Amino acid sequence: KDLLRLMKSDSGPLAIVPGGFEEATLTGAGAERVYLKRRAGFVKYALRNGYDLVPCYTVGEADMFGNIQGAWRFRIWLNQLSVPAVLPFGFRFFPLLPRRVPVTVAVGAPLRLPHIKDPSNADVKKYQEQYLRAIRETYLQ
């Protein structure tokens, strides 16, 4: 949280990837997945500071790297201990480099949020649901 304040101190745009370790863990070639239903801190932060949320989705990013699939509960548990449970492999001869695949970045319309100094859980949930709908719509563009 202090890092977010520091990063935002120049009043320029701020990009946050809210899916975190869990989303990286779920990522696998051939499947588009997000981990956002349990992520609300970024919405609360945006409400407290009066920021807009801009839904963005990178279609094809999951195909850039393979990732071992399965053992979800164990891997999510590791993530909760701040241990990233991913084992990515990309280009055949240099597995830490991404595969060459088509990638499209979709950017939706900004979700205008009010400035609420102390947002309630209901406020956060309301705008989180709006953001989730916006992400879905952006993906389907």
Give the pLDDT confidence of 45-74 residue by residue, as tens digits: 899 988 899 999 999 988 998 888 889 899
**pTM of the predicted model, to two decimals?**
0.80
More confident residue, 4 or 25: 25
Cβ atoms within 10 A of the Cβ of 54, count?
15
Q: Which residues pair with 105 in a beta bridge?
A: 58
Quick check: helix, strand or coil at residue 69?
coil
Quick check: helix, strand or coil at residue 39?
coil
Name the DSSP letter for residue 95. T
Give the mean model confidence (pLDDT) for residues 82-111. Answer: 89
Q: Looking at residue 7, what is its pLDDT? A: 54
From the number of C-beta atoms within 10 Å of its C-beta (0-12, 13-18, 19+), residue 45 rates as buried
What is the spatial distance between Cα 136 and Cα 38, in angstroms, rounded to a whole number? Answer: 16
- Predicted confidence band of residue 19 (pLDDT cuts 50, 70, 90): confident
